[in-house]
A and B are shown apart, each in its own frame.
Chain A
């Protein structure tokens, strides 16, 4: 890490000033309200033009790419156990419109998105990306959930895709993957490991049988 990592406690809604303090590699803990949303929410809002189940703009500006390990009791009670993120790159195509509709400024997820996404989608919206750690620290993040406020669209979308509204306290640890300037921690680390990866391949012949669509350049990523 370049210099010592700083640790931030951020309260929701996270202010532009607080976001401006964040640099890639910093450690973050969240307090306040966050909501889960992934393809279930995105397809309805972005593809089908449905209104969200709750006014996201007033609820929180933190969207968590997550499905919890949770169950629903016969009396409708919500039992939430572990909480971890799901890989975010799959949601790239929804993000432009979702930022507009939701007012989200903080995306919490797994694995980050591409540098192009940060440049084209996050930076113009004044948004940052925080990555969960591990993965995944499901028990630690589960401890950070003080209360489940609601699980919207539970019946139609199921437990995994429902929109869970979570009151969180010292929710983390998370790492700043992309800051307001669109820098990316993962891309920095990819560049830093590139040479050692190439050395490991030295002298190994290419395979006898190629596959359609195959890349042989380690400079390309799979996302």
Chain B
């Protein structure tokens, strides 16, 4: 693909020629993914649990996994939320560089907030969101900084992708500042600390997709780790072979602490481990751990400029562009053929 050069002459006409993405289409797509996320367990996660059930030897742990499989069927048959703790709904927006939402991004954010309130009433979801101090509850999951909306961009695209994630907010997540001297041992130790402290009694609602954010600053490591847990499907390793090896080691370690669902004796703890990295301070190695639970709820809609909407459960959030390492952006060779 030849990279388009935007000059003062060409930029204006090209951009204004792009059709807008209608705000109603965005709002409807946002409502639809809210319902799909709450009701339909992603296939990658369900198939992963079936695989774990085949290997699980312990009766109590098997009982829990079987109940969950039955629960997901009931949710889809009844069009009922799979779990009543419908989490704290949040959105991830990936906008193509050429995409133009009608009314701009302020209108897009309003569409997303409106869809959150609507789905909370119609699905229904649990209105979890309250003011942290006054406990004010609008019964619609909307408020100050709620739902969160995070953005990323994609070159050579004119669509907008909306992803919603419904993740619980109380247990299964922790942060630690590690240092280069702590090394891989330190990563393993903190990974175990988090699994054990929240795995007992099943507070992490495991087996979990365990997301790990390594590097950046403290907030970056938290953001990356959450995205790693919530936005990568089961079975998709990091494209960096060294990181993929670490992911596999951590997954095996987590499944060898003798613990399964609800903290019962078993081997079903980590359905997959996803690590994402960011360049960090030369003296540090901040790390976060996030457990995406037995109700790993996510759904994505790609909204095209022409008005078509495609739905899927794989957010495809971590693109080569997201993981770029150099100053400029050069599409990888595979895409230039």
- Interface of A with B (CB < 8 Å)? 1, 5, 25, 27, 66-72, 79-84, 86-87, 110-112, 131, 133-143, 158-160, 173, 186, 189-190, 192-193, 195-197, 200-201, 203-209, 211, 218, 221-223
Contact = CB atoms under 8 A, between A and B. Distances in A.
B265 to A, nearest CB: 5
Given A111-B201, A205-B185, A82 B259 contact: no
Contacts of B205: 134-136
B327 to A, nearest CB: 33
Given A136-B295, A207-B190, A209-B179, A5 B63 contact: yes
B126 interface: yes
B71 A140 contact: yes
Given A69-B81, A86-B85, 6 more contacts: A1-B60, A133-B63, A173-B67, A196-B256, A207-B178, A222-B197
Interface string B145-174: 000000000000000000000000011000
A197 B179 contact: no
6 smallest CB-CB distances across A and B, nearest first, come from A196-B258, A139-B75, A71-B124, A82-B81, A84-B84, A158-B137
A93 to B, nearest CB: 18
A70 B126 contact: yes
B74 interface: yes
B91 interface: no
Given A140-B67, A159-B127, A209-B177, A67 B171 contact: no
Nearest to B138: A158
B126 A87 contact: no
A138 B189 contact: no
Contact of B201 (A1, A82, A112, A218): A112
Contacts of A192: 258, 265
A200 B128 contact: no
19 contacts: A5-B59, A68-B126, A69-B126, A87-B171, A111-B202, A135-B294, A136-B83, A136-B84, A143-B74, A186-B262, A186-B263, A189-B262, A190-B200, A204-B185, A207-B190, A209-B178, A221-B200, A222-B197, A222-B203
B82 A82 contact: yes
B288 interface: no
A204 B188 CA distance: 8
Contacts of A207: 176, 178, 182, 186, 189-190
Contacts, number: 208
Interface stretch (B18-26, B104-112, B115-123, B211-219): B115-123
A151 to B, nearest CB: 12
Nearest to A89: B201
A193 B259 contact: yes
Interface residues of B, number: 67
B179 A208 contact: yes
A200 B256 contact: yes
A12 to B, nearest CB: 20
Contacts of A218: 196
B64 interface: yes
A200 B83 contact: no
A69 B176 contact: no
Task: Select the residue from A70, A81, A83, A173 with max chain B CB neighbours within 10 A.
Answer: A81
B123 A195 contact: no
A139 B182 contact: no
A134 B71 contact: yes
A137 B253 CA distance: 27
B78 A143 contact: yes
Nearest to B267: A196
B127 A140 contact: no
Interface string B80-112: 111111100000000000000000000000000
Contacts of B292: none
B192 interface: yes
B139 interface: yes
B125 interface: yes
A139 B202 contact: no
B42 to A, nearest CB: 16
Nearest to A142: B80
B198 interface: yes
